[in-house]
C-alpha cells in the first residue's frame, strides 16, 4: 500500500542508533542523506505511517491492538479442539484482556512477553517526525512545487505526531481531567530531532503533565490544518489531510471537555463536505463460506477520512477458521443493545452490518465490519464521518443545546431501517447524554474508541459514568456446535477504584531512566 523504501539508508536510522551530540556532525561513507523534499517524503512513508502489512501478524510490536480487547465490547470463545495452555491466550493477549499486573503474562503463567511494543514503536515514529521537520529546512526548495510539497509533508508530520501522542497519553496516563491535568504525569514529550542522552543526568526523559501533552497535540493539529490549507493533500485516506486533522482535533477537544471548540471543528468539516453511508442501501450479504459480501469498513466507503496501521479486529475475531483458533467475540451486552427498539418495530441496521453469527451456530456473534484478510481500512487509527456527528451531538448536549437531537438524527437516519428512528425529541440533560453515549458505542465499536471513552466518561464533570467490566475465559469446547465451557472470570473495577485503567510504563524504560521515572500506580494481581 505504501511506497517502499528504495534501498536508501536514511538519516532516521542513524539518529535512532546514535548517541548524544549535534545532528549528523559526521556522515558515514555508506549513508545516503536526503537532499530533496521527495527524499523526505519517502522517509515519511517508510518511518512515519504505520504500514498495513502489520495485519499479517498480531504481535507485541503491532500498535494499538490492545484497544480492542481491554473494554466491555468483547469476550472470549475458544475453539473446540484448542489445547488448554496452547491457545492464543498463551501469547500476548492474555495479560491485556485480563488486566494483569504484568501485561505480558500468558494464560498458564509460565511466559512473559515484552510490554514495550506500543511505547517503542510510537516513539520511534515520533522521532522520525521530529527529524523530518528539522530536515525540511535543509533540503532544496527551488521550485514552487517543492515549496508546496514541503508544506504538505510538514503538515503530515504534525498530524502523525499528534495522533501518536494522543495514543500514548491515553494508554499510559490517566484520562484528561481539567481539575488535575496540570499535575498528573503524562508521557515524555520529545520534540527535538536529536537523541538526548546525558549519562550524568539522573533521569533521561521526564513525564510531561497530561495538560502539557494535550497542549502540544492541539498545537500540532492546528499547524497541520494550516499546512494543508496552504498545500492541500492529494485525496487519499492513507495520507493525512485537512479534514482528517480537523476531525482528530475535534476528538481531542472532546476528551478535554472543550465543548464549543468541538462544535466549531465539526461544523468546519461538515462545511467542507462529508458523507454518511445510508445502510438502507447496504447489502451485508450472508455469513456463508465463499459468499461475496460488502464490508462497512472498506475502500468503497464514502465515510473514510484517514486510516493507517493494522486491521486487527479481523484477526482477533476470525469467524472463518472455526476449528483451531482461539478468538474473541462480541459481548452479549454490546450485541444486545442493537435490538433495544425492535419491540417497537425500529430496526438498527448496524446489527447485521457489523456482526455475524458464529458458523458453529452456538449463539456467539463475531464482528464483520471489515474482512480478516485483504482489509483496506484499519481500525485503531481510523477517522471517519460517523464520528463527526457523535462528537458534535455530545458537545451540544453538554452545552444543553437543543440542536443535539437534530445532529443525532442526521446520523441515525442512515443507520435505522426505513429511516424509522427511536423517539428522542423529548430527551435532555443526562438522558440525552446517555442516549448519545449508547449510539456512540454502537456506531464506533471495534474502532479503538470504547476504552478511551469509558475513561473520559468516568471523569466527566457534568455526567460522570463508571462501570466494572467482566471478561470471561472459556475452556476449549467439546464439539463444533457446543458453547465453550466456562473456565474463569476477571473483573476490572470502576475507574478510580482500579489502577488497571492505565498501562504500566514499560519496564525497560524504567530501567533506562535508572528507576527514577515515575511509574503508574501498581495494579493488583489477578488470578
Q: How many Cα atoms within 13 Å fall on the side-chain side of residue 443?
A: 28
Task: Give strand ranges (E) for 120-189.
Answer: none
Secondary structure class of 146 (helix, strand, coil): helix
Q: How many CB atoms lie within 10 A of CB 85?
A: 12
- Residue 431 makes CB contacts below 8 A (sequence gap 6+) with none
Angle between helices 259-272 and 385-398 (to 10 degrees): 140
pLDDT in tens, 311-344: 778 777 876 655 555 578 899 999 999 999 999 9
Backbone φ, ψ for residue 491 (5° rounding): -120, 130
Which grid coordinates are listed for 272? 467542507
DSSP 240-299: --HHHHHHHHHHHHHHHT-HHHHHHHHHHHHHH------GGG-----SSTT-----SSST
Q: With beta carbons less than 8 A apart as the criterion, state whether 388 and 269 touch.
A: yes
- Which has more pLDDT, 394 or 482? 394
**Pick from 173, 168, 176: which is nearest to 456 by CA?**
176
What is the mean predicted confidence (pLDDT) over 423-448? 97
User: Which domains are assigned to the chain?
Assistant: 11-512 (1.25.40.390)
- Residue 522, pLDDT > 90, answer yes
Structural Rg of the chain based on CA atoms: 23
Please give the pLDDT value at position 3. 29
Q: Report how far apart, in Å, the C-alpha atoms of 50 and of each of 2, 128, 380, 411 are.
A: 9, 12, 11, 30
Secondary structure class of 148 (helix, strand, coil): helix
Give the containing element (helix H, strand E) for 365.
strand 365-367
DSSP 479-522: STTSPPPEEEEEEEPPBTTBGGGSPPPPHHHHHHTTT-SPPPPP
The Cα–Cα gap between 348 and 422 comes to 10
pLDDT in tens, 328-337: 889 999 999 9
Please give the pLDDT value at position 52. 72
Secondary structure class of 440 (helix, strand, coil): helix
The Cα–Cα gap between 238 and 240 comes to 7
What is the mean predicted confidence (pLDDT) over 278-297? 68
Please give the pLDDT value at position 55. 43
Confidence band for 243, pLDDT divided at 50, 70 and 90: very high
**Pick from 252, 218, 44: which is nearest to 130 by CA?**
44
pLDDT in tens, 139-167: 989 999 999 999 999 999 999 999 999 99
The Cα–Cα gap between 368 and 441 comes to 16
- Residue 390 makes CB contacts below 8 A (sequence gap 6+) with 411, 436, 439, 440, 443, 444
What is the mean predicted confidence (pLDDT) over 499-527? 90
The Cα–Cα gap between 444 and 386 comes to 8
Q: Report how far apart, in Å, the C-alpha atoms of 390 and of each of 67, 251, 262, 297, 408 are.
A: 20, 10, 10, 18, 7
* From 45-59, 93-107, 367-381, the region with the lowest mean pLDDT: 45-59
Q: With beta carbons less than 8 A apart as the criterion, state whether 261 and 398 touch.
A: no
Evaluate the CA torsion angle 172, 48, 303, 335 in order and state its sign: negative
- Residue 441 makes CB contacts below 8 A (sequence gap 6+) with 73, 334, 337, 450, 453
C-alpha torsion angle, residues 6, 9, 12, 15 (rounded to 10): 180
Confidence band for 479, pLDDT divided at 50, 70 and 90: low
pLDDT in tens, 57-86: 444 446 888 898 999 999 887 765 555 444
Q: What is the pLDDT of the chain when averaged over all its residues? A: 85
Amino acid at each position: 500500500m505504501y511506497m517502499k523504501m528504495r534501498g536508501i539508508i536514511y538519516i532516521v536510522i542513524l539518529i535512532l542508533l546514535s548517541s548524544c551530540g549535534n545532528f549528523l556532525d559526521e556522515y558515514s561513507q555508506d549513508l545516503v542523506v536526503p537532499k530533496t523534499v521527495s527524499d523526505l517524503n519517502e522517509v515519511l512513508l517508510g518511518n512515519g505511517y504505520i504500514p498495513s502489512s502489520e495485519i499479517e501478524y498480531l504481535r507485541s510490536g503491532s500498535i494499538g491492538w490492545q484497544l480492542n480487547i481491554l473494554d466491555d465490547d468483547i469476550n472470549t470463545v475458544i475453539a473446540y479442539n484448542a489445547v488448554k495452555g496452547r491457545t492464543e491466550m498463551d501469547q500476548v493477549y492474555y495479560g491485556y484482556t485480563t488486566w494483569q499486573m504484568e501485561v505480558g503474562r500468558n494464560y498458564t503463567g509460565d511466559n512473559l512477553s515484552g510490554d514495550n511494543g506500543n511505547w517503542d514503536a510510537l516513539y520511534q515514529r515520533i522521532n522520525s517526525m521530529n527529524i523530518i521537520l528539522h530536515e525540511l529546512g535543509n533540503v532544496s526548495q527551488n521550485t514552487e512545487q517543492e515549496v508546496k510539497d514541503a508544506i504538505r509533508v510538514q503538515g503530515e508530520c504534525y498530524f502523525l505526531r499528534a495522533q501518536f501522542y494522543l495514543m500514548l497519553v491515553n494508554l499510559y496516563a490517566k484520562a484528561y481531567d481539567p481539575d488535575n491535568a496540570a499535575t498528573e504525569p503524562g508521557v515524555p514529550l520529545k520534540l527535538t530531532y536529536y537523541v538526548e542522552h546525558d549519562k550524568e543526568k539522573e533521569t533521561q526523559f521526564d513525564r510531561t503533565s497530561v495538560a502539557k501533552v494535550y497542549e502540544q497535540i492541539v498545537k500540532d493539529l492546528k499547524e497541520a490544518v494550516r499546512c494543508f490549507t496552504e498545500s492541500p493533500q492529494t485525496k487519499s485516506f492513507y495520507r493525512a489531510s485537512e479534514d482528517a486533522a480537523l476531525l482528530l482535533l475535534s476528538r481531542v477537544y472532546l476528551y478535554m471537555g472543550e465543548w464549543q471548540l468541538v462544535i466549531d471543528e465539526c461544523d468546519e468539516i461538515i462545511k467542507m463536505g462529508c458523507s454518511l453511508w445510508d445502510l438502507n442501501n447496504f447489502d451485508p450479504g450472508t455469513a456463508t463460506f465463499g459468499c461475496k459480501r460488502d464490508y462497512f469498513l472498506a475502500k468503497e466507503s464514502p465515510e473514510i477520512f484517514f486510516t493507517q496501521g493494522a486491521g486487527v479486529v479481523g484477526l482477533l475475531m476470525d469467524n472463518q477458521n472455526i476449528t483451531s483458533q482461539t478468538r474473541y467475540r462480541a459481548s452479549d451486552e454490546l450485541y444486545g443493545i442493537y435490538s433495544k427498539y425492535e419491540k417497537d418495530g425500529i430496526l438498527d441496521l448496524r446489527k447485521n452490518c457489523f456482526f455475524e453469527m458464529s458458523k458453529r451456530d452456538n449463539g456467539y456473534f463475531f464482528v464483520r465490519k471489515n474482512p480478516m484478510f485483504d482489509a483496506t481500512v484499519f481500525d485503531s487509527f481510523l477517522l471517519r464521518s460517523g464520528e463527526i456527528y457523535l462528537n458534535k451531538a455530545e458537545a451540544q448536549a453538554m452545552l444543553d443545546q437543543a440542536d443535539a437531537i437534530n445532529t443525532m438524527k442526521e446520523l441515525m437516519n442512515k443507520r435505522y431501517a426505513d429511516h424509522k428512528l427511536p423517539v428522542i425529541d423529548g430527551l435532555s440533560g443526562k438522558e440525552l447524554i446517555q442516549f448519545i453515549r449508547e449510539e456512540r458505542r454502537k456506531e464506533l465499536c471495534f474502532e479503538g474508541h470504547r476504552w478511551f471513552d469509558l475513561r473520559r466518561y468516568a471523569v466527566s464533570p457534568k455526567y460522570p459514568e463508571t462501570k466494572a467490566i467482566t471478561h470471561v475465559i472459556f475452556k476449549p469446547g467439546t464439539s463444533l456446535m457446543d458453547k465453550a465451557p466456562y473456565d474463569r472470570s476477571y473483573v476490572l473495577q470502576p475507574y478510580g477504584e482500579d489502577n488497571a485503567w492505565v498501562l504500566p510504563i514499560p519496564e525497560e524504560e524504567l530501567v533506562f531512566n535508572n528507576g527514577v521515572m515515575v511509574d503508574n500506580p501498581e495494579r493488583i494481581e489477578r488470578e
